[in-house]
């Protein structure tokens, strides 16, 4: 089955990881490093997007609500409706911080920062 925009409802995580992400101006901001799953609700908590680093040094990891990513076939990647300034000012975390406390603190912070309706309510 497909969504309203013609995308399939299911996709393997292995196809998502490594996919480029662009901001609303079409600028490349990084790529999806991982996706965090909510085992209790069977939902996707957030996408982990890495940007700003070079050869693994200084890279920042941002939790972006999964619902904010829209795949654009012509770009071969996901587009988020945020400006470069919003993304630069977004909370950044280490890989360990992303999973601390079952990831809920980072999830809540991310949804609040980006103003996205929480899926768990």
pLDDT digits (tens, 9 = 90+) for 47-88: 999 876 655 566 678 999 998 999 999 999 999 999 878 888
* Nearest one of 101, 36, 27, 26 to 62, comparing CA atoms: 36
Using a cut of 0.85, tell me whether the model's pTM lies above it: no
HEC secondary structure over 60-80: EEEEECHHHCEEECCCCEEEC
CA atoms of 86 and 67, how far apart (whole Å):
17
Residue 114 pLDDT > 90, yes or no? yes
Find the mean pLDDT for residues 16-20.
93
- With bands split at pLDDT 50, 70 and 90, how would you rate the model's confidence at 102? confident
Q: Which ranges constitute the DSSP H helices of the chain? A: 13-16, 84-89, 95-99, 104-114
Q: So what's the pLDDT on residue 68? A: 93
Q: So what's the pLDDT on residue 8? A: 57
CA atoms of 110 and 90, how far apart (whole Å):
8
> Which tokens hold the place of 51?
């940007």
């Amino acid at each position: 089955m497909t969504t309203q925009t013609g995308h399939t409802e299911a996709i393997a995580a292995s196809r998502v990881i490594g996919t480029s992400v662009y901001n609303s101006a079409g600028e490349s901001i990084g790529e999806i490093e991982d996706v965090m799953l909510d085992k209790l609700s069977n939902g996707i908590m957030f996408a982990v997007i890495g940007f700003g680093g070079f050869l693994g040094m200084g890279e920042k990891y941002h939790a972006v609500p999964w619902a904010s990513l829209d795949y654009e076939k012509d770009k071969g990647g996901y587009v988020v409706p945020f400006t470069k300034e919003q993304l630069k000012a977004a909370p950044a975390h280490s890989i360990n911080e992303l999973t601390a406390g079952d990831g809920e603190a980072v999830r809540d912070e991310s949804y609040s920062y980006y103003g996205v309706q929480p899926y768990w309510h």
